[in-house]
Chains A and B, each alone.
Chain A
């Protein structure tokens, strides 16, 4: 006699333990996507300080004492902001490389080696991020 059990939770848990490159690429792509759209809203909010700054006197703008310039310069002086910017770069680069991988798969290119192209995306993201650290941190100390 067969009996059916609801194995939903157990199977959901097993799925996490069974490593699959495609699944992790999907999770990372989704996570980086959420970060990027969140950042876009923050980015426009910070840049919006340009609206009141546009009404400042020419002398204030020339002296870089307007609210837009001051906001950006003050944020850039914080080491935490610089570190977050490096993180943002890593997130954006991964999303771009993995996105390229997805576009290629959609075009029928490389589905059989999609796990290798995921590892390549990760390695390249790491390399580009590390290589960019000096530029992103310059002037923070």
Chain B
């Protein structure tokens, strides 16, 4: 029997953005795993090696975009899962804004970390 299970109301903006970010994340997450576990090895990580990668504008931009999309996809997924479980009213509003605040914090901390490696925003 082919029954469809989804936490998302089909056709909405959030539903659409969840899918657009999914396509991007499929490619970039695979690249991230491959580069940092198979090309370079996790136990050979060093500040200077991470720094060398992040000083390249293309890599820096890709990683910052990765951070934004992963945060959105994850937090939007959690929010929809909770709404799907029946979250509503004031609780829904409180959780929504808590998740938005947590996302903002994660993004700020992630960008600060990226800038620490890159020595500021990489211009070239």
B-contacting residues, A62-84, CB 8 Å? 62, 64, 66, 68-69, 72-73, 76-77
| Docked pose: A99 CA to B37 CA in angstroms | 22
Q: Which residues of chain B come closer than 8 Å to A139, judged between CB atoms? A: 41, 43
Contact A68 B7 (CB under 8 A): no
Q: Name the distance in Å between B37's Cβ and chain A's nearest Cβ.
A: 6
B-contacting residues, A86-141, CB 8 Å? 89, 92, 96, 99-100, 102-103, 105-106, 111-112, 114-115, 132, 135-136, 138-140
Q: Which residues of chain B come closer than 8 Å to A66, judged between CB atoms? A: 47
| Docked pose: A26 CA to B5 CA in angstroms | 6
| Docked pose: A44 CA to B70 CA in angstroms | 12
Of the residues A62, A73, A106, contact of B19 by C-beta under 8 Å? A106
Interface of B is mostly: helix
**Contact A22 to B2, CB < 8 A, known contacts A30-B81, A73-B45:** yes
Of the residues A22, A44, A100, A112, contact of B5 by C-beta under 8 Å? A22
Report 25 cross-chain contacts, Cβ distance below 8 Å, ordered by A residue. A22-B3, A23-B3, A23-B5, A30-B7, A30-B81, A33-B77, A36-B74, A40-B71, A40-B106, A44-B106, A45-B109, A47-B113, A50-B116, A53-B116, A54-B47, A54-B116, A64-B46, A64-B48, A66-B47, A69-B47, A76-B42, A89-B33, A96-B29, A111-B4, A114-B2
Contact B5 A25 (CB under 8 A): yes
In the assembled complex, B26 has its CB within 8 A of some CB on chain A: yes
Contact A34 B78 (CB under 8 A): yes
Q: Which residues of chain B come closer than 8 Å to A11, judged between CB atoms? A: none
Known: A89-B37, A106-B19. 5 other contacts (CB 8 A): A41-B102, A92-B29, A99-B22, A99-B26, A106-B10
Q: Which residues of B approach A to under 8 Å, CB–CB?
A: 1-7, 10, 19, 22-23, 25-26, 29-30, 33, 37-38, 41-43, 45-48, 50, 67, 70-71, 74-75, 77-78, 81, 102, 106, 109-110, 112-113, 116-117, 119
Q: Name the distance in Å between B8's Cβ and chain A's nearest Cβ.
A: 10
Contact B81 A33 (CB under 8 A): yes
| Docked pose: A111 CA to B4 CA in angstroms | 8
Of the residues B22, B71, B106, B113, contact of A103 by C-beta under 8 Å? B22
In the assembled complex, A1 has its CB within 8 A of some CB on chain B: no
Q: Which residues of chain B come closer than 8 Å to A102, judged between CB atoms? A: 6
**Contact A76 to B116, CB < 8 A, known contacts A30-B81, A111-B2:** no
Q: Which residues of chain B come closer than 8 Å to A76, judged between CB atoms? A: 42-43, 45
Which 10 residue pairs across A and B have the least CB separation, nearest first? Answer: A37-B74, A26-B5, A76-B43, A54-B116, A72-B45, A51-B116, A50-B116, A69-B46, A68-B47, A64-B46
